[in-house]
Amino acid sequence: MQLELTKLLSCPECKGDIDMSKTIEKIKQNNFEFIKSGILTCRNCDARYPIIERIPRLLKGNYQTLREKEKLKEYNNLNLTKPKSTYSPTIDGNEKYEVIEKMVVQKLKPERIKSKKLKERLRHDIEYRVYYSAKKEKFVKTCIPYMTHKPEVVVDVGGGHGGTISCFRRHFNPKISILLDLDITWAKIALIRDPMTNVIRGDAANIPLKDQSADLLITTATLEHIKDWKNVIKELARVSKNALVAYGPNKWFPYDLGHIDAPFVTFLPKGTALPIAYVFHELRKTGRSYDSIKKELNSTYFISRHQVVKILEKYGDVKNVFSEFIYHSIRSDNHYTAGELKKFLKLHPIISHFFSNLLTLLGIEPSVYLFFKRSNQQSKKG
């Protein structure tokens, strides 16, 4: 992590200011210096958090892993006259992608899948996560018209393997870019993908950043995986001056694409949705088992646009940008599951415009895209 990042951090325990209390090792990369290992300490409650392999672990004590707790003890007991300083070459080109692919495969474990259709889908998923996840210009272009100034701090909450924040960093070149994720494997992959991004292991429902510290905050495909999503929304609004909040599936769209991949599951009670989804997959011979569908259904939260807007409007102004996102999406990369549809809509912009606006009007767009801007009144209060 960059030393400058400490100015933006807040304690997960009490929201107090954070200091770098012990630097154990520094590392130079791309002519920049980063903290590779050390201890962060809260000025208020004296809670301590380790930095391990450049990633600060900013979680409440009961959420820290055993390794993180052991490292903290080890760092506490070290007596140093001065920090160790090393140089690390950047992994570029094919070598970088080979390392990322190996880690993604280990994470997703394709060898456990028996169905040919599911294997093919996972193959595409791995290929996307490794090579194409940083091609997110459609998100950047959606944000640009609503930005009043160039952001100096850009934050991606639930940023996973780092493609989105990498794309935003390339475009805006902020002073500090931050990715927050709870999953340490994705966090490590994000750091390999883009060493200039500050990667934090943290909780989206308890973001370890100060109020309004992010000029631009983005979160995509995260809310639907978090049970405490209402508190996540409040945290996003607290931390950001501007934010792009994107998630799916929308509760009122009658088909879930990307999670359960079945009709009516978004708004039906889960006890009813499960057998419907199972029968649907059996008829299509996708190979998805009853247990896998149940597990996915129980870990996916279907949230309407209205529910999120209602919370965000307490902190600022909200603009529905679904139509703008669709416009930029069909003119950018083609995802393998919607390639033909995107080609058709690109050739027929009037149809695309009509249907995206109709879905927005009815509140049933398949995924939700909102741009939040903190109001001047709320900024003064903050």
pLDDT in tens, 305-334: 999 999 999 999 999 999 999 999 888 765
DSSP 293-355: HHHHHHT---B-HHHHHHHHTTTEEEEE-HHHHHHHHTTSPPPTTTHHHHHHHHH-HHHHHHH
Look up the CATH architecture of domain 133-249+304-331+368-381. Answer: 3-Layer(aba) Sandwich (3.40)
The CA-atom distances, in angstroms, between 45 and each of 13, 41, 123, 240 are 8, 9, 47, 24
Angle at 251 between CA 245 and CA 255, to 5 degrees: 110
Q: Which of 56-60, 78-82, 186-190, 288-292 has the lowest mean pLDDT?
A: 78-82
- If you average pLDDT over residues 48-74, what whole number do you get? 95
Count of beta carbons in the 10 Å neighbourhood of residue 363: 16
Answering whether pTM is above 0.75, one says: yes
- If you average pLDDT over residues 353-379, what whole number do you get? 88
pLDDT in tens, 77-124: 998 888 999 888 878 888 999 999 999 999 999 988 888 889 988 998
Domain ranges in the chain?
3-87, 133-249+304-331+368-381, 260-298
Q: Is the pLDDT of residue 374 over 80?
A: yes
* Residue-level pLDDT at 320: 97
DSSP H or E segment with residue 243: strand 242-247
- If you average pLDDT over residues 118-131, what whole number do you get? 91
List of residues 6+ apart from 260 with CB closer than 8 A? 273, 277, 293, 296, 297, 300
pLDDT in tens, 328-338: 988 876 555 56
